Structure 1
Amino acid sequence: MSRYQKVFLIDDDELHNFLCESIIRSYKFSASVTSFLWAEEALQTLASLSQEDPASFPEIIFLDIHIPGMNGWEFIEEFKKLPGGLIQNCQLFVLSSAIDKQNPSPSPQQSVVTDYFSKPFSPDILNIISDMYLVR
């Protein structure tokens, strides 16, 4: 049985998304995994779900910061404008090769970020999430 029902991945690297999806599926971490190459597309999907099907809103989002178009920090600012009840029940994890956990960002955007992880994505990240953040 999967720990979560729905996970979103937002990263402009198709190979990285494929790797993440494979790990998430093989460890039965989530029943459903959806990847987005563009933050704008993910945000539009989240906005639609919040209006049309709130029960399908993801429980976890893995977000890269350095992506073309709308970057991760801009995504976070827009994400914070979605209905509060939905974003409070969604854990947002920044997953990037350029994260300094001691000082991830100079802005207050961190308020909706659950945690920061450095790439590459691995089963260890899923174990940390399960141990520290899984709602039991």
Structure 2
Amino acid sequence: MGTLKKVVLIDDDQVNNFVCESIIKNENFADEVISFEWAEDALVFLKEITDKDPAGFPELIFLDINMPGMDGWSFIEEYRKLPTEATALCNLFMLSSAVDRKDIISAKSHSEVKDFFSKPLSPEILGFIKEEFISA
């Protein structure tokens, strides 16, 4: 059994999602990993959960910044509109290949974003998240 029940990945890169899913599963970090290549689809999914089963809201979301359609910043704006009863227990992390310091500073300035990590996801990043953000 994983540390978490559900993790959501939001990244337009299908290969990156596959790699992240593999790492999360290999590290027994989560029981379920759900990937979305479109932030809009992820929002629809999250809204459905808040309507039908708020207890099933993911405990962690990895969000990319630069995506076609809705980017990470726009996603955060919409994420803020979800019920706080659901989002309060979710850890939202930026996971991006963006190396622009402005993006890192901006990510950390959003209260919803717990931290910013550069791709690729690694077992070390998951270990850090477990130690710093996930209560036992």
Give the TM interval when normalised to the shorter protein. Answer: over 0.9
- In structure 1, distance between residues paired with 2:28 and 2:107: 35
Distance 1:127 1:100, change over 3 A: farther
2:10–2:42: 8 Å Cα contact kept in structure 1?
yes
Q: Does 1:119 align with 2:114?
A: no
Gap runs ≥5 in structure 1: none
Query: 1:109: Cα distance to partner?
Result: 6.0
Correspondence for 2:80: 80
Superposed counterparts of 1:1-136, under 5 Å: 1-99=1-99, 104-106=104-106, 110-136=110-136
> Cα RMSD over matched residues?
1.8
For 1:73 and 1:65, how far apart are their aligned partners in 2?
A: 7
Q: Secondary structure at the match of 2:12?
A: coil
User: Do the aligned partners of residues 117 and 54 (structure 1) sit closer, same or farther apart at CA in structure 2, a change above 3 Å counting?
Assistant: same
Shift of 1:55: 1.4
Distance 2:135 2:10 in 1: 23
Q: Is there any run of 5+ residues in structure 2 with no aligned partner, and where? A: none
Structure 1's consecutive aligned runs of 4 or more residues displaced over 6 angstroms after TM superposition are none
Give the counterpart letter for 2:54 in structure 1: P
* TM-score, length of structure 1 as denominator length: 0.93
Displacement of 1:24 in angstroms is 0.3
Query: What do residues 76-98 of structure 1 show as CA deviations (whole Å, max 9, x unaligned)?
Result: 01001100111110000000011
Q: Identity of aligned pairs, percent?
A: 50
Secondary structure class of the residue paired with 2:111: helix
Whole-Å separation in 1 of the counterparts to 2:106 and 2:94? 15
TM-score by length of structure 2 reads 0.93
